[in-house]
């Protein structure tokens, strides 16, 4: 993960219309558990889980979300360099 990187995320609308910072956890070790603390299968790389950093921004449009993620990632890379 590069510092300042953003990604497109699934939102409550069940589509890729949101953006969030890239999660430091890999897709296979997100902190998602059932009520008994057992890991749940089916983690989606565009999902948002307890370990994923804020903010989560709803853009209401898939193309706009992609553009916003690219702009924020570029700006974040410039600030962190």
pLDDT in tens, 2-48: 568 999 999 988 899 999 999 887 655 665 667 777 766 656 778 88
The CA-atom distances, in angstroms, between 25 and each of 4, 32, 64 are 15, 11, 25
Residue span of the structural domain in which 35 resides: 6-80
> Is the pTM here over 0.85, yes or no?
no
- The answer to whether residue 1 sits within a structural domain is no
Instruction: Name the band, by pLDDT with cuts 50, 70 and 90, for residue 52.
Output: confident
Assess if residue 23 is contained within a domain. Answer: yes
* Any domain includes 52: yes
Total number of domains constituting the chain: 1
Q: How far apart are CA 11 and CA 20, in angstroms?
A: 10
Residue 34 backbone dihedrals phi, psi, to 5 degrees: -80, -175
**Position 17 in a domain:** yes
**Starting at the edge strand that comes first in sequence, how are the strands of the sheet with 18-21 ordered?**
6-9, 18-21, 57-58
**Tally of CA atoms within 13 A in the half-sphere of 60 that contains its CB:** 0
């Amino acid at each position: 993960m590069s510092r300042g990187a953003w990604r497109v995320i699934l939102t409550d609308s069940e589509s890729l219309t949101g953006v969030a910072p890239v999660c430091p956890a890999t897709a296979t070790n997100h902190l998602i558990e059932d009520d008994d603390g057992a890991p749940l299968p089916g983690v989606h790389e565009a999902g948002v889980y307890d370990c994923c950093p804020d903010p989560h921004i709803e853009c209401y449009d898939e193309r706009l979300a992609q553009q916003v993620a690219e702009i924020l990632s570029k700006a974040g890379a410039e600030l962190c360099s």
